[in-house]
């Protein structure tokens, strides 16, 4: 065993912030192509810290657990959003599996949660986006996870590889190798995910394998805007979609091995040809994994003897770019070692002649700096419990897939095989029903599995036009992305990518301007919102927040909508483009936008003045008739002072008043509607004074409490003086409303002497009691 197990290792969350590009990996294309596939009926557990249960993107899907607390983690909330957010707040906030139930667990315990508790909660996927220090050995935590999956073969654990690829290590290999952050990531029956950037290249800090016994780790990589935590969360969400697909077909959950086989058969090879110890078997292809599962491109079985091989056939049509087959099985755990126990073999045979066996890709398992950098070669794998065989530009025809046991010391072994037959080009973003933000820089994405040198021209055709506008010439298809600043209009369009031999035409998608409703009124029984009219849009769809998701309420051709309490606090407005409502902005809580019942703001220009000046800003003048300024002084009653008629489209009004006496005067405005209803603002207090007359209050004052001084002169010195003339305490004072401490003054009558540059000297008796 390499290294030493540290029982006191403390987990740390990997902070995640920022927007996400769900065009990567075909994630957006997956939910648009398979809209009913949301992970509904399944539960994902997020093992780290509590997430924000008040987030409307988790509404109605949070499973109560002891780990849920009011003190939530931003990191855990981000992971939960990525793998299962509903997109209620904004469409770009929709996670991979928007229908899963969400449970929180704590990483204070690095060992697995108990099976009875996981079963009680119905957890089928657990996401682990955390790590400890670099640990390069198979320890008790790895053993515990392997045992748990052996006992519950359908429970998928997804771990982030870690962000320590650039850190120094004490392992037998130099960094970036053997930099996995936690010995629990050495387990055989879990899935470990590394990180890539937005352009598909491996992130330097993404932790690498191999494991202590030479196994491939991570198994695959995915986009991590801020680290491998996010990569793991995306894969957890895809795992739930695969589980839902299998359950709908077979009536039960699939094994962890089946999910692995689907992911590894479909992922795109990056870096060196074949698997490697940096990116595993390649980059996540969510659309490919779900599509092969939906098309039942898989086989499951059990091998009971080493004497008999099992097989099935795969047909490859002409013009395909790649055939990939993956085999996976849950291996028997061994105390103190991740060494393979149950050993199975995979190979392909073209039928009808034309070649012999095609063996899987294997890596050197020797822990030497030169060996881990060697490219994969075809051979027989005696180390891993996952294997992949792939053929580029396969000859059309029928292939037979063989699975055979080499060693079964622990008895019969269930296994899963999945296969993918890939064309060279697949659109990822946009696809049918996709939306791109108008007037903004947007990524256009595709999957390319053809020749690396192929180039083409990318063009767009907008609604109503017959010509194609060139967006980019000499596009290298292997880059798999072009960034396009879209037209600032609401319309539909389609793309075309033309090479010297082929034309790839996208489905029709929508460009839509971002919009956000503004609050006009927020009255107890009625509210109103408005939004900017969108060019080319005649109808808008209103939504409210239901028990879990946004629900349509009504359509309007106006740009103002009135709400009642039955609409709830959350509201969204989507434009209809091409006859369909398109989520184009934020959902707002109209009760928390800083707008009251007609009143946007009501403020006194100065707290202390000889003439009160007050400013009122309205959110709308709809249905208003008059505004009346009212004043109260020493009594609770308010006296009307001035009434102004509402002016069309005028939202700001100014009032002036000279209080009849020195002291505090309270003001408010009474708003009267066309129908006779009234709305009253809050109160604003102005301390009326004269240029040379100070106002001290309260007087008398309680022992130890400060007194306030209202005086137009802003620079004053205040001095407490005893009745016998002794100076007790000088204090420089500034500001319009000044505060003077009385700390240390005994009860009784004291004199406050004020010396101002403009107002001269004043002596005011103050009673302390």
* Cα 329 from Cα 259, distance rounded (Å): 10
* Cα 160 from Cα 306, distance rounded (Å): 35
**In sequence order, what are the residues at sequence separation of 6 or more whose Cβ sits closer than 8 angstroms to the Cβ of residue 66?**
none
Query: Do 105 and 147 sit in the same domain of this protein?
Result: yes
Query: Do 414 and 433 sit in the same domain of this protein?
Result: no
Query: Confidence band (pLDDT; 50, 70, 90) for 710?
Result: confident
- Please, what's the b/e burial string for 9-28 (b: 16 or more CB within 10 A of its CB; e: otherwise)? bebebbebeeebbbbbbbbb
Between CA 560 and CA 564, with CA 561 as vertex, the angle to 5 degrees is 150
Residues 227, 16: contact at Cβ < 8 Å?
yes
* Cα 766 from Cα 754, distance rounded (Å): 13
Query: Confidence band (pLDDT; 50, 70, 90) for 354?
Result: low
Does 498 map to a domain?
yes
Sign of CA dihedral 43, 412, 219, 222: negative
Between CA 487 and CA 492, with CA 488 as vertex, the angle to 5 degrees is 65
DSSP 208-238: ----TT----SSEEEE-TTSHHHHHHHHHHH
Q: For position 447, which CATH number holds?
A: 2.60.40
Q: How far is CA 132 from CA 7, 109, 137, 171, 220, in A?
A: 11, 12, 13, 15, 20
Higher local confidence (pLDDT), 765 or 608: 765
Higher local confidence (pLDDT), 726 or 235: 235
Does 127 map to a domain?
yes
Q: For position 531, which CATH number holds?
A: 2.60.40.10
Domain boundary among 656, 688, 720: 688
Query: Do 103 and 140 sit in the same domain of this protein?
Result: yes
21-56: per-residue pLDDT in tens? 899 999 999 999 999 999 999 999 999 999 999 999
Query: Do 211 and 348 sit in the same domain of this protein?
Result: yes
* Cα 454 from Cα 501, distance rounded (Å): 10
Beta bridge partners of 753: 719, 763
Beta bridge partners of 604: 614
What is the extent of the structural domain holding 437?
Answer: 425-507
Query: Do 409 and 460 sit in the same domain of this protein?
Result: no
Higher local confidence (pLDDT), 275 or 749: 275
Q: Please provide residue 237's backbone torsions phi and psi, each rounded to the nearest 5 degrees.
A: -65, -45
Does 290 map to a domain?
yes
Residues 662, 691: contact at Cβ < 8 Å?
no
Query: Among 596, 617, 614, 597, which Cα is nearest to 605's?
Result: 614
Query: Confidence band (pLDDT; 50, 70, 90) for 331?
Result: very high
Query: Do 102 and 176 sit in the same domain of this protein?
Result: yes
Please give the pLDDT value at position 158.
Answer: 98
**Between 228-250 and 74-84, two packed helices, what is the crossing angle to 10 degrees?**
40
* Cα 187 from Cα 183, distance rounded (Å): 8
**Between 286-294 and 228-250, two packed helices, what is the crossing angle to 10 degrees?**
10
**In sequence order, what are the residues at sequence separation of 6 or more whose Cβ sits closer than 8 angstroms to the Cβ of residue 439?**
485, 486, 487, 488, 489, 513
418-456: per-residue pLDDT in tens? 999 999 999 999 999 999 999 999 999 999 999 999 999
DSSP 641-683: EEEEEPPTT--EEEEEE--SSSEEEEEEEEEEETTS-EEE---
Sign of CA dihedral 45, 50, 53, 56: negative
Query: Do 203 and 334 sit in the same domain of this protein?
Result: yes
Please give the pLDDT value at position 211.
Answer: 96
Does 1 map to a domain?
no
Does 16 map to a domain?
no
Query: Do 264 and 337 sit in the same domain of this protein?
Result: yes
Does 2 map to a domain?
no
Query: Confidence band (pLDDT; 50, 70, 90) for 565?
Result: confident
pTM over 0.75: yes
Please give the pLDDT value at position 610.
Answer: 79
Query: Among 328, 395, 333, 407, which Cα is nearest to 360's?
Result: 328
Query: Do 571 and 673 sit in the same domain of this protein?
Result: no
729-744: per-residue pLDDT in tens? 677 777 667 888 888 7
Number of domains composing the chain: 5
Beta bridge partners of 388: 326
- How many angstroms from the chain centroid is the CA of residue 490? 26
- Please, what's the b/e burial string for 569-584 (b: 16 or more CB within 10 A of its CB; e: otherwise)? bbbbbbbbbeeebbbb
Query: Do 264 and 325 sit in the same domain of this protein?
Result: yes
Domain boundary among 450, 480, 507: 507
Query: Do 464 and 345 sit in the same domain of this protein?
Result: no
Residue 656 has pLDDT above 90, yes or no: yes
- Is the peptide bond between 123 and the residue preceding it cis, with omega within 30 degrees of 0? no
Does 12 map to a domain?
no
Domain boundary among 422, 439, 469: 422
SS3 of 312, please?
strand
**Percent of the chain whose pLDDT exceeds 90:** 74
Q: What is the mean pLDDT of the chain?
A: 91
- How many angstroms from the chain centroid is the CA of residue 73? 13
Query: Do 109 and 197 sit in the same domain of this protein?
Result: yes
Which strand ranges, in their side-by-side order, compose the sheet holding 397-407? 310-316, 397-407, 343-350
Q: For position 80, which CATH number holds?
A: 3.40.50.200
Mean pLDDT is lowest, of 17-31, 263-277, 297-311, for: 17-31
Does 70 map to a domain?
yes
């Amino acid at each position: 065993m390499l290294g030493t197990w540290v029982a006191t290792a403390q987990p740390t969350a990997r902070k995640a912030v920022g927007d996400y590009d769900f065009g990567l990996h075909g994630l957006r294309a997956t939910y648009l192509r398979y809209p009913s596939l949301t992970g509904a009926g399944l539960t994902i557990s997020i093992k780290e810290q509590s997430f924000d249960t008040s987030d409307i993107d988790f509404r109605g899907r949070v499973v109560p657990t002891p780990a849920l607390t009011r003190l939530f983690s931003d990191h855990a909330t981000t992971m939960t959003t990525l793998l299962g957010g509903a997109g209620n707040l904004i469409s770009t906030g929709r996670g991979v599996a928007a229908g899963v139930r969400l449970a929180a667990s704590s990483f204070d315990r690095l060992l697995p949660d108990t099976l009875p508790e996981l079963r009680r909660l119905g957890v089928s996927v657990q996401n682990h986006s955390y790590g400890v220090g670099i640990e390069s050995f198979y320890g008790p935590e790895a053993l515990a996870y392997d045992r748990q999956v052996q006992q519950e073969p359908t429970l998928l654990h997804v771990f982030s590889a870690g962000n320590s690829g650039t850190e120094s290590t004490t392992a037998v290999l130099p960094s970036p190798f053997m930099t996995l952050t936690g010995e629990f990531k050495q387990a055989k029956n879990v899935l470990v995910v590394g990180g890539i950037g937005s352009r598909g290249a491996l992130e330097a800090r993404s932790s690498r394998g191999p494991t202590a016994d030479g196994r491939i780790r991570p198994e695959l990589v995915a986009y991590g805007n801020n680290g491998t935590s996010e990569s793991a969360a995306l894969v957890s969400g895809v795992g739930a979609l695969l589980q839902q697909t299998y359950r709908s077909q077979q009536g039960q959950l699939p094994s962890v091995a089946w999910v692995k086989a689907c992911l590894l058969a479909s992922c795109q090879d990056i870096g060196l040809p074949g698997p490697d110890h940096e990116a595993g078997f390649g980059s996540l292809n969510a659309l490919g994994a779900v599509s092969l599962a939906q098309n039942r491109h898989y086989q499951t079985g059990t091998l009971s003897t080493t004497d008999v091989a099992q097989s099935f056939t795969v047909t490859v049509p002409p013009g395909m770019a790649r055939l990939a087959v993956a085999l996976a099985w849950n291996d028997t755990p061994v105390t103190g070692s991740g060494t393979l126990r149950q050993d199975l073999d995979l190979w392909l045979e073209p039928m009808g002649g034309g070649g012999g066996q095609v063996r899987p890709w294997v890596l050197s398992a020797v822990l030497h700096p030169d060996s881990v950098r060697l490219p994969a070669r075809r051979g027989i794998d005696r180390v891993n419990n996952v294997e992949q065989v792939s053929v580029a530009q396969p000859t059309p025809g029928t292939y037979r897939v063989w699975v055979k046991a080499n060693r079964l010391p622990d008895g019969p072994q269930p296994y899963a095989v999945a296969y993918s037959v890939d064309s060279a080009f697949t659109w990822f973003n946009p696809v049918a029903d996709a939306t791109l933000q108008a007037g903004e820089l947007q990524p256009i994405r595709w999957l390319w599995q053809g020749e690396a040198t192929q180039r083409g021209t990318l063009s767009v055709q907008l609604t109503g036009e017959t010509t194609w506008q060139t967006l980019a010439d000499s596009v290298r298809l292997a880059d798999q992305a072009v960034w396009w600043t879209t037209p600032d209009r609401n319309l539909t369009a389609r793309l075309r990518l033309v090479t010297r031999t082929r034309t790839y035409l996208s489905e029709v998608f929508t460009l839509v301007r971002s919009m956000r409703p503004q609050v006009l009124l927020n009255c107890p029984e009625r509210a109103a919102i408005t939004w900017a009219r969108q060019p080319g849009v005649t109808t808008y769809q209103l939504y409210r927040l239901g028990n879990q998701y946004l629900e349509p309420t009504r359509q309007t051709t106006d740009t103002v909508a009135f709400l009642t309490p039955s609409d709830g606090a959350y509201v969204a407005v989507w434009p209809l483009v091409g006859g369909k409502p398109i989520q184009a902005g934020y959902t707002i809580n109209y009760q928390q936008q800083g707008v009251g019942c007609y009143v946007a703001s009501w403020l006194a220009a100065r707290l202390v003045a000889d003439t009160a000046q007050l400013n009122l800003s309205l959110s709308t003048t709809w249905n208003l008739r008059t505004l009346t300024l009212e004043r109260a002084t020493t009594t609770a009653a308010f006296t009307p002072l001035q009434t102004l008629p509402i002016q069309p489209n005028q939202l700001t009004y100014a009032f002036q008043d000279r209080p009849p006496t020195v002291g505090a005067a309270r003001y408010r405005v009474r708003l009267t509607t066309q129908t006779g209803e009234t709305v009253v603002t809050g109160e604003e207090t102005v301390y009326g004074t004269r240029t040379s007359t100070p106002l001290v209050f309260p007087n008398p004052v309680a022992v130890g409490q400060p007194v306030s001084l209202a005086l137009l002169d802003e620079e004053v010195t205040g001095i407490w003086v005893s009745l016998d003339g002794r100076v007790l305490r000088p204090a420089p004072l500034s500001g319009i409303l000044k505060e003077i401490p009385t700390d240390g003054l005994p009860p009784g009558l004291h004199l406050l002497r004020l010396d101002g540059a403009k107002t001269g000297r004043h002596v005011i008796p103050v009673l302390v009691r």
